[in-house]
Amino acid sequence: PQWKTESEVAVMEYIRLNTHIPVPKVYYWNSSVNNPVGAEYILMEYLPGICL
């Protein structure tokens, strides 16, 4: 699971910086369960739109 979160953040940042596809900016993330939340997480900005 650690590599999943790290990969997801890396892909989102790459797409956001290198394309015109609207992708939320990642503010914070942690791929370890050894944190105050007790789980992996990604905190990102809100983008308005329609849920698919």
Residue spans per domain, the chain? 2-44
pTM for the structure as a whole: 0.81
What pLDDT score does 1 carry?
63
What pLDDT score does 51 carry?
85
The amino acid occupying position 36 is P
Average pLDDT by stretches of 10, the chain with 52 residues? 89 97 96 94 94 85
What pLDDT score does 42 carry?
96
DSSP per-residue string spanning the chain? -HHHHHHHHHHHHHHHHHSSS--PPEEEEE--S-STTSS-EEEE--------
